[in-house]
Structure 1
């Protein structure tokens, strides 16, 4: 069985706080130990997922042993605010909004005897997230940099232990927001990754423009939790979040295998297809009703109701049979991104890659 490890490291400094952040990274090495054929697989969880969930722990162990990878994940900036299990208490205001005055009075008078009033109702309320300048769902480059810092630390650990790995097998696998962050990681470190497996990545963070709604269906009634994130109220650098802008003219070195549904409600297939048409080495698999088999794919909507283990196996087979047009170096080369507002660059003066930005003045 794969050997598992947990390390706490410093995180990417946020734009809004000078305090040092700490977060945990988790990795597993194959039972047969690391060798020159062993790859590195970075797994990035999206909304509702996290590195400590059963499915991701299983993926780290299984992929390490089955496919000969060192598998890596981390508790990146704001992950705790992206879960589905935030508590929502039903308030009188929520009840009055959905019930008639007569129904409310009946329920108030005898709750146990009149619970049938609640049947089929959905009660909606806003989650109190308690985000702050130190910990918040940033949705962009800061979250991507946490993953790149964790990967850098992992490479150092392998080197310090005299363990060589296969430079041609450094991949990222993400779903939804996790896949979006995979594209950001690749853009910030252009010579690091050999391949990306993308399930339903959007091109711009959906929840910067929409409240997130999570509905939990109960035996009697349903609860709709509304998440409004702090970043949605900030003045942001839109170009720094927009993959279409960031990949414009970008010399992509990574092979990209993308799965996207015809009914994706977060980003239309046409927009995703148009984007990938201009990215070197990208292959789009369109998921229509014909591909929905109830096993690998269960829907044609966002995230495809996908079995993440089965999707990975399919995509990996394609990645490893396709010949790369360009050789990557697996190093953090000098990277500079210029938008109309900022210049972004990565510096390793402190030993680990850290992203900096300054106001851009086009003189």
Structure 2
């Protein structure tokens, strides 16, 4: 059985609240046989309605660690509490920002884990770095790849949208008794720059080196299959798998958003079917990144290993 761990560190300061300090809970499972030179890391990112303490994710961390010789890691990323089934009160101190802070937290979870491995004088394969995301979690995987160039070697994407729709529109959650819970997220008032959240826009300027396996349904109601295909065609090393009513199976039981997928079987399918060879790397060599939109320059600094973001207003803008 895998060994499960939990620890808490200071996460990235809150960029929406004068860079105020905040804590970040991180969870990981290591293989029963221990961390070896060929052990990799898989970052699991849930979307709306799930979190790191959901039973399915606890099981995934344990199973993936032993079955695939991976350290499986997750975190309570910024605003996750507001993505569940209950509508809670948000503020600048903590809210569902649907993008920047959430991606930085997930990168922090991985880079902090790497430091723990190194501090314990263990070797691992930093060339075997996988992100497995569902829905909004898969969208965050793409943002992580942008903010941390060359850190991740594979993204497994289940139904990522290209832009977080709930910034512009209400989220409605329907209960079995017929009641409806409506979420009007605080991010709509706070997020000034929407371009940084548009994957199609920011990936146009990005030289992608990460292998991307995207699975998307023909009847996805949040992002059409045709738009997802356009996006995948735009970037290198992206392979889109179309799920429609004619190819449903035990893994994908729906062609709608999320594919009603069996998360464990889906991961098994990717790891067995694609059988990617992960080149060995002694340690990750993530470099500083500068992402520019019409409004801001986003400078992510990795001098101290963990990401630190500064925003700079573009010249000539008020």
Look up the match of 1:23: 24
Ranges in structure 1 where 5+ consecutive residues have no aligned partner: 87-126
Change (3 A) 1:342 1:66: same
Q: CA deviation at 1:322?
A: 6.1
* Superposed counterparts of 1:1-363, under 5 Å: 1-18=1-18, 19-84=20-85, 86=86, 127=87, 129-218=88-177, 222-293=178-249, 295-321=250-276, 330-349=284-303, 352-361=306-315
The Cα shift of 1:235 comes to: 4.8
Q: Secondary structure at the match of 1:41?
A: strand
Distance 1:152 1:146 in 2: 10
Residues 211-234 of structure 1, C-alpha deviations (whole Å, 9 max, x = no match): 11111113xxx2111111001233
- Kindly tell me the number of residue pairs found equivalent between the two proteins: 316
Q: Equivalents in 2 of 1:328, 1:301: separation in Å?
A: 40
Q: 1:298 to 1:185 in 2, by over 3 A?
A: same
Query: Residue 125 of structure 2 contacts residue 283 of structure 2 at CA under 8 Å; is this kept in 1?
Result: no
Computed over aligned residues only, the root mean square deviation of the Cα atoms, in angstroms, reads: 1.9
DSSP-derived class of the 2:235 partner: coil
1:118 corresponds to: none
Unaligned runs of 5+ in 2: none
Q: Secondary structure at the match of 1:35?
A: coil
Please give the secondary structure, in 2, of the residue aligned with 1:245. Answer: helix
* Moved segments of 4+, more than 4 Å: none
Name the SS of the counterpart of 2:270 in structure 1. Answer: helix
The structure that has the greater radius of gyration is 1
Structure-2 separation of matches of 1:328 and 1:176: 32
**Once the 2 structures are TM-superposed, how far is the Cα of residue 180 of structure 1 from its aligned partner?**
0.2
Shift, 1:317, TM fit:
2.7
Q: Deviations over 1:134-185 (max 9, x none)?
A: 1100001110000111111100000011111112210000010000000000
Q: Secondary structure of 2:118's partner? A: helix
Secondary structure at the residue paired with 2:77? coil
1:351 deviates by 5.2
TM-score, normalised with respect to structure 1: 0.83
Structure 2 counterpart SS, 1:283: strand
Change over 3 Å in CA distance of 1:141–1:211 after alignment to 2: same
TM-score w.r.t. the length of structure 2 is 0.95
Aligned equivalents of 1:45 and 1:79: distance in 2? 9
Shift of residue 36, structure 1, vs aligned partner? 1.0
| Equivalent residues of 1:346, 1:354 under 8 A apart | yes
| Per-residue CA distance 1:28-76 (angstroms, 9 max, x = gap) | 1000001011110000011001001100000000000011100000000
Partners of 1:56 and 1:318 in 2: how far apart?
Answer: 22
